[in-house]
Amino acid sequence: DGVVNGPIGAEEVMHAVKEHPHYNAPIVQVEGKLRGRGVGMGFCRNNAGPSCVVANVLSNGRVSLVEGSVDIGGSRTAVAQMFAEVLGLAIEDVIPQVADTDTIGFTSNTGGSGVAFKTGWAAHEAAQDVKRQLIERASLIWDTTVDQIEYVDGAVQHKSDNELRMTFQEISGQLASTGGPVVGRANLNPSGAVGSYTANIIDIELDPDTGKIDVLRVTAIQDVGTAIHPDYVEGQMQGGAAQGIGWALN
């Protein structure tokens, strides 16, 4: 009678725990200490909510990407990656910035693993808006219709004339003479975010005389979905494990 979830990785996480070498390793006792192993598993409801992204195409071929989600775990880079992928840009050419509430549309709070979902989605849509506008500019430059232009691998090109092609950087330098700045926008309130499961295997050592506890080994396992920036995801898992250990031992 509770909440019915879609695929959330609970079974996969449990299998990963059972198959991990840490779970199956023997616990070696030492004289005067007590050693043990615990396994904990938890569920997190991921959040979504409104989000806004504005992308300003600069004349040097770079993009100023402004978002409303506060960055507390490296999300600016992940959002910039999703934007760059749509337009075939190098991540170094996207400059992510977090704006305050006076300069960007309303964006709900950062938390519950929602930024990559909602603001990443907004960045994807803003990139699509930029792509559409660049195709329009190319049609003006080449005096043709937009249906004859496509955007492929970081460049606009004519579908039937291979000589008519401009990279993102090249067409960015012609914006002033073809109508002015190109600004991509996206404002959305996506639904469909689901929760995920995580598990931790932890070995501790207890001194029965003093009550002192030492953490010997920690293995964190989590269903993270698609890791946009794996290093940042790993960092969040490490930080979460450290936070949980601190709460438990406080």
Instruction: Please give the pLDDT value at position 125.
Output: 98
Q: What is the percent of the chain where pLDDT is above 90? A: 80
Query: What is the residue-averaged pLDDT of the chain?
Result: 93
| Mean predicted confidence (pLDDT) in 171-181 | 95
Q: What is the percent of the chain where pLDDT is above 70? A: 98
Categorize the per-residue pLDDT at 60 as very low, low, confident or very high, splitting at 50, 70 and 90: very high
Res 3 pLDDT > 80: no
Res 194 pLDDT > 80: no
Q: Where are the alpha helices (DSSP H) in the chain?
A: 10-19, 21-24, 75-87, 115-141, 168-172, 230-249
| Mean predicted confidence (pLDDT) in 131-141 | 97
Q: Give the model confidence (pLDDT) of 20-36 as tens digits.
A: 999 999 999 999 999 99
Written as one letter, the residue type at 12 is E
Instruction: Please give the pLDDT value at position 110.
Output: 85
Q: Which domains does the chain have, with CATH numbers?
A: 10-44+194-249 (3.30.365.10), 51-188 (3.30.365.10)
Instruction: Please give the pLDDT value at position 112.
Output: 63
3 or 83: which carries more pLDDT confidence? Answer: 83
**Edge-to-edge strand ranges of the sheet holding 196-206:** 34-44, 196-206, 213-222
Q: Give the model confidence (pLDDT) of 143-175 as tens digits.
A: 999 999 999 999 999 999 999 999 999 999 999
Instruction: Please give the pLDDT value at position 111.
Output: 74
Using CB atoms within 10 Å of the CB of residue 10, give its burial: 0 to 12 exposed, 13 to 18 middle, 19+ buried: middle
CA distance linking residue 47 with residue 112, whole number of Å: 5
C-alpha distances in angstroms, 140 versus 18, 56, 65, 133, 171? 61, 20, 26, 11, 11
Residues 6+ apart with CB under 8 A from 187: 50, 51, 52, 105, 122
Instruction: Please give the pLDDT value at position 178.
Output: 94
7 or 214: which carries more pLDDT confidence? Answer: 214
| Mean predicted confidence (pLDDT) in 124-135 | 98
Q: What pTM was computed for the model?
A: 0.87
Categorize the per-residue pLDDT at 58 as very low, low, confident or very high, splitting at 50, 70 and 90: very high
| Mean predicted confidence (pLDDT) in 193-221 | 94
Categorize the per-residue pLDDT at 44 as very low, low, confident or very high, splitting at 50, 70 and 90: confident
Res 113 pLDDT > 80: no
